[in-house]
Structure 1
Amino acid sequence: MSESNRDETTDEVEQSNDGDIKLVMAVVRPDRLSEIKTALAEVGAPSLTVTQVSGRGSQPAKKGQWRGESYTVDLHQKVKVECVVADIPADDVVDAIRDAANTGEPGDGKIFVVDVERAVQVRTGKEGTTAV
């Protein structure tokens, strides 16, 4: 890569997230995961981590009955999607997740954007934006 190409690449990274690495975390409905994966791939952020979680927020509790006993489910099953970006604007990732996860009903989830202080690639030892 020539020196001028490196400068252009560095400029692009700095324009995307002001040279920072961002962690976009979303806690969403499990049935929207496929749409979210597709939306992230379309904006150029195919790398993600998905974790099964449960929690409660504004989504109402569900009442049920099993073997004659009543019970309340107030911890709902969700998935936590994490995506670390440096060369793609975090706002684009947030918009993609929001559009794909939105059903218009309570319990659609939340999205959080956090600054990443340091990133290190295990295999190569690369650090910073090149590790992402």
Structure 2
Amino acid sequence: MQNHQVSWFEIGTDDPEATMDFYGKLFGWKFIPYHDMENDYYNIVEPGNEYPTGGILATAGKVAEYSTFYTLVADVAEGIASAKEAGAQVIWGPVTDKTGLTFARLRDNGGHQFGLFSSGN
């Protein structure tokens, strides 16, 4: 599947509880713990849509806090190659979680973070 649309967002924070509390109050979002990644703390946002639309990652002071988006692509490795040709730099990845999702984080030619992901189907 490839639609090149923003299909996921992620907020990295040193205080995930406060961040979830803020967005819960603001938008009524509920959060579900997600344990299929190799990290200490991740919660997906379940705002009542058919599919989750984003997540909150605990950064634990290991990286600067951030907010970024992920674009759905057919193949993350090919997406990385295309992005690098356009001037992007890879921050990390690609990695694949236990459910088969593959994703990577990059920096565009202006230094802004964005991500690519593929469902593996």
Provide the TM-score with structure 1 as the length reference.
0.28
Structure number with greater CO (CA < 8 Å, separation at least 6) is 1
Q: Which has the higher helix share?
A: 1
Provide the TM-score with structure 2 as the length reference.
0.29
